[in-house]
Amino acid sequence: MKITLVLGDITVQAVDAIVNAANQGLWGGGGVDGAIHRAAGDRLDDACAAIRQSRGGCPTGNAVLTPGFNLPARSIVHTVGPVWHGGTRGEAAQLASCYARSLALAEENGFRTIAFPAISTGVYGYPLEAACDIALRTVLAHPAVSVQEVRFVLFSAQALEVYRRTAGELGIQ
């Protein structure tokens, strides 16, 4: 499986699925979540409302799937990352679960390409370096069948540099 690191806007990625750093209610929020909701259009809000009604939303560490609607990506994987509380409330396991559950959904749906943001590193306050390490290690440990490329789409040059440095330390070319 190929791991690609890019600086850019996840909403313009032409992949099978992009991952949304969502909240438990799947309401369009700020950051990447708000950008994805705006770019995908009103039908995404309707799809999320249906998930809230049928499942009560999405718990932290889990993931659900919707169509991509107006996005170049055919699907959106919504995953709920943990809020950082100093690392004392199981945040690392919850964050790893976000990546693992998203990849599992990708495999279940035969996706070949998936793009991730830096989950939980914005308003949820997860330290970027620690979150990056968990993200890359979880992806490396994934037994890929259909997924051929995992793309990390970073919003800032600082985040891209952290991901590049960590990838190098883990032997990712």
**pLDDT one digit per residue (tens) for the chain, 173 residues:** 999 999 999 999 999 999 999 999 999 989 999 999 999 999 999 999 999 999 999 999 999 999 999 999 999 999 999 999 999 999 999 999 999 999 999 999 999 999 999 999 999 999 999 999 999 999 999 999 999 999 999 999 999 999 999 999 999 98
Which residues is 6 bridged to in the sheet?
Answer: 153
Classify each residue of 88-119 as buried b or exposed e, where b means 16 or more C-beta atoms within 10 Å of its C-beta.
eeebeebbbbbbbbbbebbbeeebebbbbbbb
9 as an active site residue: the answer is no
Number of neighbouring beta carbons within 10 Å of residue 9 = 12
Prediction pTM value: 0.98
CA distances from 59 to 22, 97, 98, 118, 135 (A): 10, 11, 10, 18, 19
Active-site residue, from 9, 16, 33, 133 = 33
Domains assigned to the chain = 2-169 (3.40.220.10)
Q: How far is CA 154 from CA 70, 141, 145, in A?
A: 21, 21, 25
* Contact (Cβ atoms closer than 8 angstroms) between residue 63 and residue 105: yes
C-alpha–C-alpha distance, residues 114 and 147, integer Å = 8
Q: Which among 102, 104, 172, 105 is positioned nearest to 140, based on CA atoms? A: 172
* pLDDT at site 173: 81
> Among residues 60, 71, 80, which one has the least CA distance to residue 20?
80
Q: What integer pLDDT is reported at residue 134 of this predicted model?
A: 98
